[in-house]
Every structure is written in C-alpha cells, then in structure tokens.
Homo-oligomer: A and B are copies of this chain.
Amino acid sequence: MKLVKNYAGRIVPTEINGETQIPFKGIDKYKPEGKIYGPPIRSSADFPKDGNKVTAGLKEALKRAGIKDGMTISTHHHLRNGDILTNFLFDTISSMGIKNIRWFPSASFPCHEHLIKYLKDGTIHHIEGSMNGPLGRFTSEGKMRGIGVLRSHGGRYQSIQDGEVHIDIAVIAAPSADPFGNANGVDGKSACGGLGFALADSEYADKVIIVTDNLVQFPCVPWQIQGNNVDYVVEIDSLGDPSKIVSGTTEVTKSPDRLLIAEYVAQFLEDSGIMKNGFSFQAGAGGTNLAFALFLKERMKKSGIKARFIRGGSTKYLVEMLQEGLTDYILDGQTFDLDGVNSMRNNPKHVNTTPFTSYNFHGKGNFASIVDAAVLGATEVDLNFNANVVSHSDGYLLHGIGGWQNCLFSKCTIIALPSFRDRIPVILDEVTTLCGPGELVDVIITERGIAINPNRKDLIDALKKSSLPIKSLKEIQREVLEICGGAPTKPKLDRNQIVAVVKWVDGTVIDSLFKVIG
C-alpha cells in the first residue's frame, strides 16, 4: 500500500481494498470527470404484471437477487439503535454460507455489535459506513479484514451516484410498504420518519429488497421509496424495537457548562445579525443543540423574528417552532422523536429531505450551503480551526461522520463543544483525525470563550460590540491546558497499518485512521 501526503498534509493510501484512491486536493479543488452510474435497464416484462413482488422470506429474496461471495450489501440506519433487521440479515447471509460481504450501511449503531462475530468469521469483509462504539473499537484494534471507509451522508450519495461504490443488493427496512415496493417511514408500528438515507440505494443498486412489518394495499403513500426501483418485497414480524427507533422524548442537557455553550451560540446568532427575518439554521438532536434551539427560540420571539426554514434532525422542540409559526418549514433528514415522526406525517411544511437534495456535493449545488448557520459538535478541534468528529485523542475510531462534513458548507459554521471532556482538552495543536478543514469552520464556541476564524473578518467586525467572550483559540487552549495539566497523551498508533480512512465530500481521501497499539 503506497502512502502519500495529501493537500492537508495528512498521510493517506493511494489504494484501499484494491481500489485506487484520490488524495484530498483542497476544498472545491477536485473536479470529477465521467458520468453518473447507470444501473442495468430493466423491463416491466420481467416483473409481475399485477405488481405483487412479495417474496417468501428474506433468504428467498436474497437467493433470487443472486447473492454471492464478495458482494456489496447496503442498509440504512433510520431504525437507529432499534434496528433488528440488519442483524437478522447477516444471520441469514451467514446461514447461507456467504462470505466476504462488503457491508455498506448509511450508519451503524451499538446494536450492531452483534455483527462482530461475522467480521471475525469472514461473513463480512469490511464496513464502509460509520463504525461507532464497539465496531469502531474492533476496527481500531486492526481486526477487520479490509479497510473501513467513512463517508458523510452526502459523500455516501456521491459515492453511489458516481459509481465509486456499486451496491449489488440493497436491503431496505420499510415501516410501511405495499406489494409493489412503494415504501415510507411515517406509518406503521416501526415508524421512523423519513427513509431518505435509502434513496440512493433504491435508485442505483442492482437489486432492491424491501423488508416491511406493515404491508399495506397499493398504493403506499407517500412513496418515498418508489416501487419502480424495487425487485422484491419481504414481510417480517418486526423490523425493530420501536422504543429505540425513535425516543419518546429527547432530553435537553442539564449540564451548566453545556447550557452556557448553548446560550453563547444563541447570543452569537443574534449579535452577529444572522438571526433576522427569513434566516435559516441547522440544529441537531444532541443535548446542547436542543438547548441552543430553545434559547434561540426565546430570542426570536422577543425580537419578533421568523425563520424561513430550520434544518433538522427534528425533535419536538423544532416541531413546536413550526407549529408556533417561528419558521415556515422544517427541512428534515431524520426524525429523532415521536413528535418529529407525527409532524412529518401530518404537516406538509415538515419536509422530508434526502442526502441528494441536502448534501450531495456532486450535484448542481445542494442546500447545505444555503443554510445561514449550522451548529455542530466535534470530538476535537485544533488551532487551525480543523475539526475531528470520528476519533478521540486516544486514536480510537468511535463515531460516524453523519451529515457533519456536508453542514460545514453553511454560511456560518459553528462548532460548539466543551473545552475539555473527562479532563482531556479538546483544543489541540493538531487534530488526531482531520474530518473538517479549518477554512470551513467559522466559529468555535466553548464554555470558556468563543473563537472566530481570522478569515471571517465580517464576523469579527459584527461581534465587536458583543458582550460575548471573544478570544483567540490559543487563549482558550492555554486556559484549558492549565486546568487539565497539559495536552492529552499522544495515541500509540502503528502508522504502517491503516484501519480506516475518512473521505471528503467529493470522494477524495482526507485522512487515515491507524491501528491503535495496546
């Protein structure tokens, strides 16, 4: 494996799992060539005229889809930690004696620890998708046969569309589906909200299997997944554990430090002038983010300001803002709680988005760059405003990228994070893993101060009269290092053994993760 230094100065391989790679060339620098992948042309003559594609069981559907060793099989993560279908899928694949599958999920969750045995016995060769928690640890210890590939939600769409990843069989969990294969996520006992993360899979995979625990008469409306792309429909008893698919309630942080950060973020949006009529912002479902949305809401109400749209992951807090007329729309990629699901089902202004509309970098633009402000987390940042979202300073891969990289393109990207965690400082001289280049990070907000990227003179000027504690990153770092007693110990890594790579939104390789030693 040849290693090179990319534009960001990071060591990356020129080949991964036998496929040639392009090293990161800088923001907006890599220009793709070629054409979008076209799946084989099908004919209605080969599909049941009555539209009934129901097949007796997942095994039979996989057989008819022509499953064999070495194939790529994709799943989506809308069932989150309640997903039991994916585990059942690999139990089935294993029982068929199939080996060396490339598993291509849109994300993985702790519930997928079950799959470690299949990584061990060679049923799964490697994972391309987030390797959270146990799967990440397994990968970081150098135990996965192939090299993991981490992509953002947009990057996943891009890789499929561009033909970089060819999906042989997509297995799509559908909380509601009809026999033709039309499917949605807003109805049924396993309702999860949208199914947008499975869109690319349904469009570009050679074979598409819909698995549902709520088979309805044609037409299943809305048909976010269109039956015209589907080969087989399988009915099973249960896709997962509803209580883990969506939370009954999402909890706002109670930590005083995090509440302070949230309040700083809200004040920053007001003081900078970003919070004005018709503006837009992105807020996620983390405890700090929820608190930020609540603080911002109060400020908006006080000033009589209404947003044009809020970009979710949605929760009841965003739904309330929609209902109270504080925003025209929620543009939503996934719903985190029952209020989110119900709102998406019933309110046409709660719009179900997909990685194509929101994040795909290889389209004619996407709306991530239209959002006025995105508030994101990170595991680490460094003095150049670079940020890490996948690994910790001990070198372990523990999180996926999600839409994080894509959201960096917002007009004002704010990383909100506590300045240290478990007495480990998170402002480093250099991030352990580079996921987001500093030139896209505009503001870093911690409980001890707010640093504005020196490139953003407009923001620096706008905040001149603000009461917010604006500081340099270096100053904040100095304070934190004093409190924690110095920088975190450097991780012990085998720099000759790459266990995973991080792709940039354009499919180039921005950084590598190495085997953690002992």
Task: List A residues at the B interface (Cβ < 8 Å).
Answer: 28-51, 53, 161-163, 180-181, 208, 217-219, 221-223, 226-231, 278, 308-309, 329, 331, 348-349, 351, 356-357, 360-367, 369-370, 409, 411, 506
Number of chain copies forming the complex = 2
The 6 A-B residue pairs with the shortest CB-CB distance, nearest first, are A36-B38, A28-B45, A47-B365, A35-B38, A228-B363, A51-B370
* Chain B min CB distance to A20 (Å): 17
Whether the pair B181, A364 counts as a contact (CB closer than 8 A) is: yes
Task: List the B side residues contacting A331 at CB < 8 Å.
Answer: 219
Minimum CB–CB distance from A487 to chain B (whole Å) comes to 35
Q: Is the CB of A308 within 8 A of B218?
A: yes
Q: Is the CB of A49 within 8 A of B409?
A: yes
Q: Which of B38, B361, B370 contacts A37 (CB 8 A)?
A: B38
- Which residue of chain B has the shortest Cβ distance to A31 in the bound complex? B43
Which residues in B have their C-beta under 8 angstroms from that of A29? 45
| Least distance between A36 CB and chain B CB atoms (Å) | 4
Can you spell out 13 A-B residue pairs with CB atoms less than 8 angstroms apart?
A: A32-B43, A33-B41, A34-B41, A36-B40, A36-B41, A44-B364, A45-B506, A47-B364, A50-B369, A51-B369, A181-B364, A227-B367, A229-B364
What distance in Å separates the Cβ of A436 from its nearest Cβ neighbour in chain B? 16
Q: Please, which residue of chain B has its CB at the minimum distance from the CB of A363?
A: B228
Which residues of B are found within 8 Å of A351, using beta-carbon distances?
Answer: 219, 221-222
The answer for the CA separation of A127 and B370 in the assembled complex, in Å, is 39
A278 with B221, Cβ < 8 A, contacts A41-B33, A41-B162, A43-B362 known: no
In the complex the two chains form, is A361's CB within 8 Å of B44's CB?
yes
A369 close to B43 (CB less than 8 A) = no
Given contacts A33-B41, A49-B409, contact A219 B309 (CB under 8 A): yes
Q: How far is the CA of A221 from the CA of B34 in the complex (A)?
A: 32
Complex contact A36–B35 (CB within 8 A): no
- Give the distance to chain B from A515, nearest Cβ to Cβ, in Å: 34
Residues of B close to A163: CB separation below 8 A: 38
- Looking across the interface, which residue of chain B has its beta carbon closest to that of A221? B351
Give the complex CA separation of A42 and B362 in angstroms: 5
How many whole Å from A99's CB to the nearest CB in chain B?
A: 28
A61 to chain B, nearest CB (A): 13
In-complex Cβ contact of A44 among B37, B38, B40, B366 (8 A): B366
| Chain B positions within 8 Å of A360 at CB level | 44, 228
Q: How far is the CB of A29 from chain B (nearest CB, A)?
A: 8
CB distance from A210 to the nearest CB of B (A): 11
A217's nearest neighbour on chain B, judged by CB, is B308
> Across the interface, do A41 and B51 meet the contact criterion of CB distance under 8 Å?
no
* Contact A51/B365 with A35-B40, A219-B331, A308-B217 known, Cβ cut-off 8 Å: yes
Q: Give A45's nearest chain B residue, CB to CB.
A: B28
Identity of the chain B residue whose Cβ is nearest the Cβ of A37 in the assembled complex: B38
Q: Is the CB of A32 within 8 A of B41?
A: yes
Docked-complex contact A36 and B34, CB < 8 angstroms: no
Known: A44-B362, A221-B351, A227-B357. 15 other contacts (CB 8 A): A28-B43, A38-B38, A38-B163, A41-B162, A42-B362, A44-B364, A51-B370, A181-B364, A208-B364, A222-B348, A223-B357, A226-B357, A228-B356, A228-B357, A228-B360
B228 lies within 8 A of A366 (CB)? yes
Known contacts A41-B362, A228-B360, A217 near B278 by CB under 8 Å? yes
* Complex Cα–Cα for A50 and B331 (A): 17
